[in-house]
Structure 1
Amino acid sequence: MSTQHFIRGYLRASTDDQNANRARATLEQFAKDNGARVAAWYTENASGTKTDRSELMRLLTDSHAGDVLLIEQVDRLTRLTKADWDTLKTAIKQAGVRIVSLDLPTSHAAMTVSSNDDFTARMLDAVNAMLLDMLAAIARKDYEDRRRRQAEGIALAKSKGVYRGRPVDQQLRNKVTELKAKGFSIRKTAELAGCAPSTVQRILKEDIGA
C-alpha cells in the first residue's frame, strides 16, 4: 500500500546570474510520473558551500515527519565540508524529511513507500544515507577541484600579464550605465539589466577607473 507524501521542491543556483528555476519543470514531471505533485517550492541563489541558506532552512522549518525534500542533484543540496554536511544531515533528520534526488535512483522509492512499512522505510533510509554521503563527498571534491583549476588559470594569466577578470558584455555595460544615470539604485539597476548587483558594482567601478 502506497501513501501520498507532501513534496517540497528545492531549487538552488550558485550566483544571481544563474537561473535557480531551471530544473523546476524537470522536478514537476518527475513528481507527476510518480503519481504526485510538488506542493511547495523553495528557490534561492546561494552557494552550496554555505550552511546559512534561508530557503533551505525555511523548508526544514515548514516540514513535518514524512515529507519529501525533492532535488535535481545532490550537489544542489550540498557542496559542504564534511563537518557542515553532518550538521545539515542532523537538521534534516530532526525534521523527519526524506531526500529524493533525481540522480540517486535508490531514493525514488521514498515517493511511494507506505508510512506503515517500517522495515522498508528503514532499509531505504540506511542505503540512501550511505549513498548520499558518497555523492556529497564527490560534490565537495568537484567544487574544490574547480576552484583550484580556476586559481591556477588566473595565476598563469596574471604571470603572462593577460588577466583581465570576467569580461562584461558591452551591451550590458551600456544598459547599466544608462540605468544608473537615471538614478536607479544598484539593486534596481541589476534587476532591470538582468544581472547581479555585484556585476553592476564592478561595471561602475571599472567605468570610474577608466
Structure 2
Amino acid sequence: MTKTYAYIRVSSITQSIDRQLDEIERLDLPKKNIFIDKQSGKDFERKSYLKLKSKLKEGDLLIVKSIDRLGRNYEMIIDEWSYITKKIGADIKVLDMPLLDTRIQPENLVGKFISDIVLQVLSFVAENERDNIKQRQAEGIRLAKEKGIHMGRPKLTLPDNFYVIASKFKSKEISSNEALTILGISKSSFYKYLKA
C-alpha cells in the first residue's frame, strides 16, 4: 500500500514551521507521516529527513511546500530528486510549484520530464541567488572596513588603571576578584588582556 509523506524544514530552531505546517495539515496526513527538521539545508544529513527517506518506497508520494525546503544546494537537490524518483521510484509534489509533481501524466513520462526540467531551472536560480547574497555580504563587509567601520564585537576600552591593577595582580598584591571589582570588567576580558 502506497503512502503519502510530507517534509518540513526551517534553517534554525528559532524559525517557525507554522506556515509550512498549516498548509501540510490541510492535506489530512497522519502526524507520523510528517517529518520536520530545524536545520540548515546545506546538505541532506538531517535526522528527520534521513528517517523519512528510509521509509519511502516505490509508489509513495513525498510532499514539500517549496523546493528550497528540500535543500539549498543545486547539485545536491538534483541528485536527491533523482534518487527518490528514479532509484526508490517514489513521486514528489511541490505545493508552491504545481509543475513540480512527478505524478503528472506518468504513463508517458512527460510529468517526470517536465518536473526534471523545472527543478533544474528553479534549483539553478535558487543557488544563483544564494551566491549573489554571499557576494553582496562580502562587498558590504569590504566597504564597511574601507570606511573604518568595525565589524563584530565592539572593542573593549580598557580602564586607565588596567596596567597598574594587572601589575598588582601579577605580583600577588591583590586577588583576581579584587582586580575585577576595581576594573569593572569580566573575568574573560581581564585574562585576555592580561595575556596580551
2:29 matched residue in structure 1? 38
1:155 to 110, 117, 142: 142
4+ aligned runs moved over 6 Å, structure 1 = none
> Aligned with 2:99: secondary structure?
helix
1:87 to 79, 85, 99: 79
Sequence identity, in percent?
A: 26
Instruction: Judge conservation of contact 1:79–1:139 (CA < 8 Å) in 2.
Output: yes
* Structure 1 position 80, deviation (Å): 0.9
1:69-120 superposed Cα distances (whole Å, 9 cap, x missing partner): 11111111121142x334323431322221111221123583xx7xxx8515
Instruction: Judge conservation of contact 2:74–2:126 (CA < 8 Å) in 1.
Output: no
- Of stretches 4-13 and 142-151 in structure 1, the one that deviates more from structure 2 is 4-13
1:22-41 superposed Cα distances (whole Å, 9 cap, x missing partner): 31102222x2xxxxx32311
1:36-87 superposed Cα distances (whole Å, 9 cap, x missing partner): x3231111122222232222222111111121111111111121142x3343
Q: Structure 2: which 5+ residue stretches go unaligned? A: 155-185, 191-196
2:20 matched residue in structure 1? 23
Residues 17 and 38 from structure 1, CA distance in 2 versus in 1: closer, same or farther, beyond 3 angstroms? same
Instruction: Judge conservation of contact 1:106–1:128 (CA < 8 Å) in 2.
Output: yes
* Structure 1 position 162, deviation (Å): 2.7
Instruction: Judge conservation of contact 2:10–2:37 (CA < 8 Å) in 1.
Output: yes
1:124 matched residue in structure 2? 111
Residues 14 and 139 from structure 1, CA distance in 2 versus in 1: closer, same or farther, beyond 3 angstroms? same
CA distance in 2, matches of 1:145, 1:49: 16
2:54 matched residue in structure 1? 61
1:73 to 58, 66, 72: 66
* Structure 1 position 128, deviation (Å): 0.9
How many residues are aligned here? 156
Instruction: Judge conservation of contact 1:72–1:102 (CA < 8 Å) in 2.
Output: yes
CA distance in 2, matches of 1:166, 1:97: 49
The structure showing larger relative contact order (alpha-carbon pairs under 8 Å, at least 6 residues apart) is 1
- Aligned AA (1:85): I
Instruction: Judge conservation of contact 1:20–1:44 (CA < 8 Å) in 2.
Output: no
Q: Structure 1: which 5+ residue stretches go unaligned? A: 32-36, 168-205
Q: TM-score, normalised by structure 2?
A: 0.67
Residues 61 and 21 from structure 1, CA distance in 2 versus in 1: closer, same or farther, beyond 3 angstroms? farther
RMSD: 2.9
CA distance in 1, matches of 2:133, 2:149: 21
1:120-139 superposed Cα distances (whole Å, 9 cap, x missing partner): 5x221111111111111111
Question: Which aligned pairs between 1:93-112 and structure 2 lie closer than 5 A?
Answer: 93=85, 94-108=87-101, 110=103
Instruction: Judge conservation of contact 1:6–1:38 (CA < 8 Å) in 2.
Output: no
1:7 matched residue in structure 2? 4
CA distance in 1, matches of 2:39, 2:55: 20
1:173 matched residue in structure 2? none
